[in-house]
Structure 1
Amino acid sequence: MQVIPAIDLRGGRCVRLVQGDYDRETVFGEDPAAMAEHWVAEGATRLHLVDLDGAKLGRPANVESVRAILDRVDVPCQLGGGVRDEATLAAWLDAGLERVIVGTQALKDPAWFATMAERYPGRLILGLDAKDGRVATAGWLDVSSVEATGLAEGFDALPLAAIIYTDIARDGMLEGPNIEATGALADRLETPVIASGGVSTLDDLGRLATLPVAGVIVGRALYDGRFRLSEARERAGDRT
C-alpha cells in the first residue's frame, strides 16, 4: 500500500482543513514547493495535491504553486480541485501532472466523465468524497443524494487510474479512517482504491494495509509529526 503525502493549497500556501471546512484552516507552510521537496526527501514516491480554492471556485486557482512543485520534484504528482472541463484537464496533464482527479463534474455529468476516462486512459482518478455514504461536491460544500458506492460502481469499467475514497467526517479529525466503508468499497470494485481521511496512527495504516487498497493519502498526521513518513511506509508495506 503506497503512502501518499497530501499538499493542500489555499492562497498559495500549504494548509489543512478540518472536515473540509474552509473556516477551520491551519497553515503549515508558505512555500508549497519546499514542502513537496521535504516529503520527497523523506521518501515520498508520489504526492497528492489539492487546489482548495479551485474546488470552491470551479476552476484552477493555485496554478503557480502547482507549477513550482512540478518544477522542483521528480516524483509523480496527482491533483484535484476545480477540474470541470477538458481544457483544464488537458492543461494540467500537459503541465506535468501524472494524474488528474475529477469529483464534482463526474457526478454532474457522468457521460462527460466516461468520455474523458476513455480519452485519457490511466490518467484520471475519480475523487469520491462522501458524507454519511452520500457524495459531496464543490469542495465538500454540497452533499448530494447520490450514494457513493453506486457512483463508483457505475464507473468501475472505465480505464481509470484509481478511485480516491474520502470520508469527510474523518478528514482532518485524526480519529482513524473509516475502515468498514473503505474495505466494502474496495471489495466491490476492480478499479484500484486509494483511502483518504482520518489516518492518525501507525496502527491506522496497519489496519488499512489489510484491506485490498492500493494506497493511502496522509495529511495532518504527518504535518503534526505523529509519525515519520518512513515509519508510515514501513507499516503500510510501501515498497514503491
Structure 2
Amino acid sequence: MQIWPAIDLLGGKCVRLQQGDYGRETVFSDDPVAMALKFQSAGAKYLHLVDLDGARDGQPTNHEIVREIVAAVDMQCELGGGIRSEKTIDNLFATGLHRLVLGTAALDDPDWLREMAKAHPEQLVLGIDARDGYVATHGWLEVSDVRATDLATQFHDVSLAAIIYTDIATDGMLQGPNVPEMEKMQKQVSVPVVASGGVTTIEDVRALADVGLAGAIVGRALYQGTIDLSEAIEVAETGVIASSKDQ
C-alpha cells in the first residue's frame, strides 16, 4: 500500500481543515516547499497536494507554489482542487505533476472526464468525497444526491490511475478512518482505491492495508504527531515495523 502525505494549500500556506469546513482551518506551515522536503526525507515516495482555494473557487490559484514544490522534490506528486478545464489540465501537467485529481467535474460532466481520461490514460484520478455515503462537490460545500459507489461504478470502463475516496465525516478529526466503507469501495471497483480521511495511528494504516486498499492519504496526523511517517510507510509496504515504537 502506498502512503501519500498531504499538503493542503490555502492562500499559499499549508493548512488542514476539519471535515472540509473552511471556517475550521489550522495553519501548520507558511512554507509548503519545506514541508514537502521534510516528507521526502522521511522516506515518502508520493505526495498529495490539494488547492483548497481552487476547490472552493473553481480554478486553481496556488499554481506557482505547486510548481515550486514539484521542482523541489523527487516524489510522484498529484494535485486536486478546481481542475475543471482541459487548459487547466495541460497547464498543470506542464509543471511536472504525475497525476491530477478530478472530482466536481466528474459529477457535473461525466463525458468530459471520459474525454480527458482518453487523452491522459492512467494519469487522472477520480476524487470521490462523500458525506453519509453521498458525493460532496465544490470544495465539500455542496452534497449531491449521487451515491459514492454509484459514481465509482459509472466510470468502470475509464482508464483512471486510481480513485481517492474521502470520508468527510472523519477527515481531519483524528478519530480513525471509516475502514468498512473504504473496503466496500475497493471491492466495488477494479481500479486502485486510495483511502482518505481520519488516518490517525499506525494501526489505522495497518487496518487499511489489511483490507486491500491501494493507498492511504495521511494529513493532520502527520502535523500533530500522532503518526510517524517513516513507520507508516514501513507498515504500508511490509505490514510490520522493525522499530520498538510499535511494541
Question: Structure 1 CA distance, aligned partners of 2:119 and 2:220?
Answer: 35
Corresponding residue of 2:171:
171
1:222 is aligned with what amino acid? Answer: L
CA deviation profile, 1:154-201 (whole Å, cap 9, x unmatched): 112111000000000000001111111110110111011000000111
Aligned to 1:60: 60
Over 3 Å counting, the alpha-carbon distance change for 1:238 and 1:118 in structure 2 is: farther
Counting matched residue pairs gives 239
> Is the 8 Å Cα contact of residues 164 and 193 (structure 1) preserved in structure 2?
yes
Cα 1:73–1:179 shift into 2, 3 Å: same
Post-superposition CA distance 1:10-68 (Å, at most 9, x none): 00000000000001011110011111011001111000000000000000111111011
Equivalent residue number for residue 28 of structure 1? 28
State the Cα RMSD in Å: 1.0
- Identify the residue that residue 209 of structure 1 maps to in structure 2: 209
Equivalent residue letter for 1:152: A
Residue in 2 that maps onto 1:156: 156
Say which SS state the counterpart of residue 175 (structure 2) adopts.
coil
Counterpart-to-counterpart distance in 2, 1:77 and 1:227: 21
| TM-score normalised by structure 2 residue count | 0.95
* Paired residues of 1:78 and 1:99 also in contact (CA < 8 A): yes
Secondary structure of 2:94 counterpart:
helix
1:136 aligns with 2:145: no
Task: Give me the whole-angstrom Cα distance separating, in 2, the residues matched to 1:200 and 1:117.
Answer: 33
Using the alignment, how far apart are the partners of 1:225 and 1:196 within structure 2?
18
Match for 1:40: what amino acid? Q
Indicate if the aligned counterparts of 1:162 and 1:194 stay in contact, CA closer than 8 A.
Answer: yes
Matches within 5 A, 1:220-235: 220-235=220-235
Q: CA 1:179–1:39 in structure 2 vs 1: closer, same or farther (change >3 Å)?
A: same
Please give the residue correspondences for 1:37-56 in structure 2 after superposition, counting only pairs within 5 Å. Answer: 37-56=37-56
Could you tell me how far apart the structure 2 residues matched to 1:212 and 1:118 are? 27
AA aligned to 1:114 is R
* SS in structure 2 of the partner of residue 209 of structure 1: helix
**Mapped partners of 1:88, 1:192: distance in 2:** 25
Residues 2 and 238 in structure 1, CA contact (< 8 A), matched pair in contact too: no
1:40-98 CA-partner distances (Å, limit 9, x unpaired): 01111000000000000000111111011011101110000010111101111111100
Aligned partners of 1:106 and 1:112 also within 8 Å: yes
| Separation in 2, partners of 1:224, 1:9 | 17
The aligned counterpart of 1:191 is 191
Query: Contact between 1:51 and 1:60, CA under 8 Å: does it hold in 2?
Result: yes
* 1:237 positional shift: 2.3
Q: Which residue of 2 aligns with 1:101?
A: 101
Where in structure 1 do 4 or more consecutive aligned residues deviate above 3 Å? Answer: none
Partners of 1:80 and 1:176 in 2: CA distance: 23
Q: Is the 8 A contact 1:3 1:238 kept in 2?
A: no
Asked if 1:125 is matched to 2:125, the reply is yes
Q: Matched residues in 2 for 1:69 and 1:217: separation?
A: 18
Q: Distance in 1 between matches of 2:53 and 2:16?
A: 12
Which residue of the partner structure matches residue 6 of structure 1?
6
Equivalent-residue separation in structure 2 for 1:99 and 1:76 (angstroms)? 8
Q: How far apart are 1:238 and its partner, in Å? A: 5.7
Alignment-mate amino acid for residue 5 of structure 2? P
- AA of the residue aligned to 2:71: D
- Note the C-alpha offset of 1:227: 2.1
Counterpart for residue 73 of structure 1: 73
Aligned twin of 1:92? 92
Paired with 1:96 and 1:9, the residues of 2 have a C-alpha distance of: 18
Q: Runs of 5+ in structure 1 lacking a partner?
A: none
